[in-house]
Homo-oligomer: A and B are copies of this chain.
Amino acid sequence: MADATHSSEQLRLFIERIERLEEEKKAIADDIKLVYGEAKAEGFDPKTMRTVVRLRAMDKNDRQEQEALLDAYKAALGLAE
């Protein structure tokens, strides 16, 4: 078998593995959407839920720095609560 053919076959296999994994990833993304939908049906706000998921994923120090910076900008612009 020629090298070019070998190479094509190898490429095809890599591409197919990736496509299979992309399908799985999409399936999980769809599951996540479903859970947000369930939560919404129970009266929770998806937007705020996404915010807390993001906050929990952040390092505690990073989170505090972000919040401190935002507070500073709010104060500078008279947006303090």
Contact = CB atoms under 8 A, between A and B. Distances in A.
Interface residues of A, number: 53
Interface string A52-81: 110111000000111111111111111111
A72 B54 CA distance: 12
A4 interface: yes
Given A14-B35, A35-B14, A22 B53 contact: yes
Given A31-B21, A52-B15, A8 B69 contact: no
Interface of A: 3-4, 7-8, 10-12, 14-15, 17-19, 21-22, 24-25, 28-29, 31-32, 35-36, 38-39, 42, 44-45, 48-49, 51-53, 55-57, 64-81
